[in-house]
Amino acid sequence: MEPGERMERISYSYDPVTLAMPLAEEITRRVIEKGTLPEADDVRDLLRELGLEELYTGKGLALHRNRHLVALTFPGEPLIVDIIPSSGELSDAVEVIAYHDRELGAFVVEILPANDLEYEGNIGLEPAIIDEKTLELKSSPVFGHFEEGKDGLHLVIDGKTYEGWKESGKLNVCPICGGELVWRGKEALCPECGYGIRVVKE
């Protein structure tokens, strides 16, 4: 591996999306479990579980960071978590947002890129839409967590997420960048963003 290539691979793991996806997945899970948006304390617990250190909390705001990312949480409704590279580079920033859409009769969890001019489509392909009464998931978001493999960092999704993704007919679209995926068995690679995707059974 050339040094330049290596740097490029390492920089992927600094990408805000590597925190946004597992966070959106966990927030979705909690909404389904409890039937409400997570409280400020729940989000702080989640961020700590995802390996971030708490720097500040109070006055309607929490600030967390790890070596590469900064997360700013604005609890309440909507619940907003802004994730920024600690370099301060805003063009890579993403926002995880969760709200109760009363007109739709659902809770919605989605990931929005700060720079939506460059980005086509949704990160995760679809927002999570959770029926406010039955707490059933009504959409097919492709959220997961990232693991380091021998080919670099890849998104790991469970079998249930994969089934929903397949039914939505968008298996060829990268849930991270919207690029075109190349599948080999239960693994895919995105030539555009460089991430791999792996399906694991629960």
Q: Does 190 engage in binding with Zn ion (CB under 5 A)?
A: yes
Question: C-alpha distances in angstroms, 143 versus 46, 130, 191?
Answer: 15, 14, 19
Q: Does 192 engage in binding with Zn ion (CB under 5 A)?
A: yes
Of the residues 97, 176, 197, 199, which one makes contact with Zn ion according to CB under 5 A? 176
How does 89-125 read in b/e, with b if 16+ C-beta sit within 10 Å? eeebbbbbbbbbeeeeebbbbbbbbbeeeeeeebbbb
Q: Does 193 engage in binding with Zn ion (CB under 5 A)?
A: yes
Of 69-77, 109-117, 131-139, 177-185: span binding Zn ion (CB under 5 A):
177-185
- The smaller minimum CB distance to Zn ion, of residues 14 and 99, is found at 14
Of the residues 62, 93, 111, 174, which one makes contact with Zn ion according to CB under 5 A? 174
Of 50-58, 61-69, 129-137, 167-175: span binding Zn ion (CB under 5 A):
167-175
138, with CB counted inside 10 A (0-12, 13-18, 19+), is middle
Residue 54: other Cβ atoms inside 10 A: 14
Per CB under 5 A, contacts with Zn ion among 41-100 are none
- The smaller minimum CB distance to Zn ion, of residues 40 and 193, is found at 193
- What is the C-alpha separation between 53 and 44, in angstroms, rounded? 10
Residues lying near Zn ion in the complex (CB under 5 A) are found at: 174, 176-177, 179, 190, 192-193
